[in-house]
Amino acid sequence: MKCPEVLSSPNQIWTESFETSPSLSSSDDTLSYRKALSCFPTGVTVVTARWQKSDWGMTCNSFASVSLDPRMVLWSIRKQANSLTAFTQSGGFVVSVLTENQLHLAKQFSKGLMHERFLGVNTQRLSSDRLFLKGSVAWFDCSMKQQIDAGDHLVLLGQVLDYGWQEGDSLNFCRSQFGQFKTIST
């Protein structure tokens, strides 16, 4: 099985692969399971919501497209997250897909007090009263369609009300490190 080599800088490109042997692990070996999942590269997003007259935001890499017609996306949130109530009760959310130059925002929105996460961040308020992060490669403003119980997480399914995008390279995450994808000619 080949997994991409992860680089320490988002300005570098994954170019090499290395061989790994499949590892058999017991179902309760959480660390091994997480390492196996980390072999799948993902994009990096910041999800925001507006709840009780406050803005909420968190870094997320579980974002995925679900449907083109109607336009729907999903992401998941840990049931133990401090912001769970805000995201599940707000009626909707915005997903901002980060560019390779927004690594600092991925880190800023992953910890700290909620009001500190937005300090110095260039945002724009949408007609839904939710924020998207300016400079993102794409954003999706969504109404909450459904919440799905999924083990220690909730999957939040949103119907896209509005969206925007621009040319640029997205920030990616693989094997617990940030980087970017390299395109391969076929």
Which amino acid belongs to residue 51? W
- Where exactly does CATH 2.30.110.10 map onto the chain? 45-170
* Of 24 and 8, the one with more pLDDT: 24
In this structure, is the dihedral angle defined by the CA atoms of residues 155, 156, 159 and 164, taken in order, positive or negative? negative
In this structure, is the dihedral angle defined by the CA atoms of residues 78, 79, 81 and 87, taken in order, positive or negative? positive
Q: Check residue 167 and give its pLDDT.
A: 95
For 73-103, what is each residue's pLDDT tens digit? 999 999 999 999 999 999 999 999 999 999 9
Chain centroid to CA 160: how far?
16
Average pLDDT over residues 132-149: 98
Give the fold, CATH level 3, of 45-170: Pnp Oxidase; Chain A (2.30.110)
- Residue 1 CB neighbour total at 10 angstroms: 8
Confidence label for 47 from pLDDT (cuts 50, 70 and 90): very high
Q: Which of 96, 95, 79, 89 is nearest to 51 (CA)?
A: 89
DSSP one-letter string for 47-77: EEEEETTEEEEEEES--EEEEETTEEEEEEE
* Of 164 and 179, the one with more pLDDT: 164
Tokens of 73: 């996306």
